[in-house]
Structure 1
Amino acid sequence: MEVKFGITDISREVSIETSATPDEIAAQVRQAVVDASLVDLTDEKGRRILIPASKIGYVDLGAPAARAVGFGTL
């Protein structure tokens, strides 16, 4: 699923693909905001992304999308 973070004072979004569920991401962001800590996510390629909760403007939780493979129509 794609997750987009709007970061204060930065014009571009931070976008990552992760296998985590929307509920897992939302819970982690909520906890990081309460604790004034970092949101710590790992993307599908194994890269680790740390975002300070105090700098998050918004979080866009995209719908999990299965990618079509092949030439057939759905």
Structure 2
Amino acid sequence: MCAAYSADGRAPNDRRRDKAVEVKIGVQHAPREITLESGQSVEDVERAVSDALAGKAPLLSLVDEHGRKVLVPADRLAYVEIGEPSARKVGFSAL
């Protein structure tokens, strides 16, 4: 085992989490919605949306599960749909 990894095999700054939250963002004057899987908690996503809508932040800023940042101007938000956290699926299985 490499010294840079913890006992569970993950790097200490690994952004992966056991749960993912699906977030759908509707943007005014845009034909398609933005859909992302976020490693942030439901509470963190809801707080970011509330801050953007209250004018505390000019942009809605969310991070997806790959570490990419999604920025949407707060005044262009049409809707935000926050899904329930779901466990990440690993491997293949027969249904």
Number of equivalences: 73
Mean alpha-carbon deviation: is it higher for 5-14 or for 32-41? Answer: 32-41
Percentage of pairs with the same residue: 36
* Letter matched to residue 71 of structure 1: S
| Residue 50 of structure 2 is aligned to residue 61 of structure 1 | no
Max Rg structure: 2
Shift of 1:67: 3.5
Q: 1:12 to 1:68 in 2, by over 3 A?
A: same
For the residues of structure 2 that align with 1:29 and 1:42, how far apart are their CA atoms? 13
Q: Per chain length, whose mean CA-contact separation is higher, i.e. which structure has more relative contact order (CA < 8 Å, sep 6+)?
A: 1
What's the TM-score once normalised by structure 2's chain length? 0.68
Match of 1:29 in 2: 49
RMSD between superposed Cα atoms in Å: 1.6
What's the TM-score once normalised by structure 1's chain length? 0.85
Shift >2 Å, 4+ stretches: 67-73
Structure 2, unmatched stretches of 5+, are 1-20
Match of 1:71 in 2: 93
SS at structure 2 position matched to 1:46: coil
For the residues of structure 1 that align with 2:30 and 2:94, how far apart are their CA atoms? 41
